Chains A and B, each alone.
Chain A
Amino acid sequence: DAKTTQPTSMDCAEGRAANLPCNHSTISGNEYVYWYRQIHSQGPQYIIHGLKNNETNEMASLIITEDRKSSTLILPHATLRDTAVYYCIASSNNDMRFGAGTRLTVKP
C-alpha cells in the first residue's frame, strides 16, 4: 500500500469546516483512499473512502485530486465531538495499516 503523509495536528473552530489534507503521491491505480478517525482510545471509526471521484456521506466529503496524489477530508461543520485523530490510508483492498494520523482539535 502507498505511504501517506498527514500533518501531525490541526485546530479548527467549532462550526467551521475542517479540511484535513493527505498526500499519497505513490498511490497506484487500484488503491482506494480510506479515512478513519479515533476518538480518545475508542476503536477507529470508518468515515469514507473513494477511488477517483469525490465522495460525500452523512459524516464528511472526500475530495481526491485528478492525479490522485492527494486528497482532503472535509467535515463541513465541525463540532467539539469531532476532536479525534484522523487517519488517511491508501489501500488496494489489502489489510489496512494505520499511520500516526492528524490530531484534529475543535475549539469552541
Chain B
Amino acid sequence: EPEVTQTPSHQVTQMGQEVILRCVPISNHLYFYWYRQILGQKVEFLVSFYNNEISEKSEIFDDQFSVERPDGSNFTLKIRSTKLEDSAMYFCASRLGTDYGYTFGSGTRLTVV
C-alpha cells in the first residue's frame, strides 16, 4: 500500500537554528499538508498546499515557517529560527483529491533544546 514517507524520524536542534522536515507524499496525490502535535495535545493544522502554492495556513504558520515542493516529489517544511515551543511531532499528509481522505506519514519528532 502506498505510504507517505517522512524523514528524519527524530531531529534534535538548538534554539535559533533552522530545520527542514522532509516528506515524500504518495506519487499521484495532488494535495499536501503539514500538521503538528505537541505532546499530549491535539493534532493542529499548519498549512495546505496545492498546485505549487499554499491554499490555506493557520495562525500557527507564521513568517518563521515555509513550505516547498522543490522537485515534484518532496514536500518540505522549514522552520527558520526554532523556538522551544516548536518541539512537537510534525505530520505530513497527502490526498488524491478533495473527496478523499488523507494519508498521513509517521511523523518527525522535533526536539528544540
Using a CB–CB cutoff of 8 Å, the interface residues on chain A facing chain B are 32, 34, 36, 38, 41-49, 87, 93-100
Contacts and interface: CB of A to CB of B under 8 A. Distances in A.
26 contacts: A32-B99, A34-B101, A36-B101, A41-B37, A42-B107, A43-B4, A43-B93, A43-B104, A43-B105, A43-B106, A43-B107, A44-B43, A45-B104, A46-B102, A46-B103, A46-B104, A48-B101, A49-B101, A93-B99, A95-B33, A95-B56, A96-B102, A98-B43, A98-B45, A99-B42, A100-B42
Interface string B66-97: 00000000000000000000000101010000
Contacts, number: 49
B6 to A, nearest CB: 8
Task: Give 3 closest A-B pairs by Cβ, nearest first.
Answer: A46-B101, A43-B104, A93-B98
B86 to A, nearest CB: 17
- Chain B interface bracket (under 10, 10 to 19, 20 to 34, 35 or more): 20 to 34
Identify whether the interface residues of B are mostly helix, strand, loop, or mixed: strand
Contacts of B89: 41
B56 A42 contact: no
What does DSSP make chain A's interface, helix, strand, loop or mixed?
A: loop
Contacts of A95: 33, 45, 48, 55-56
A96 B104 contact: no
A96 B35 CA distance: 10
Nearest to B56: A95
Contacts of B56: 94-95
Nearest to B41: A100
Nearest to B107: A43
A108 B56 CA distance: 43
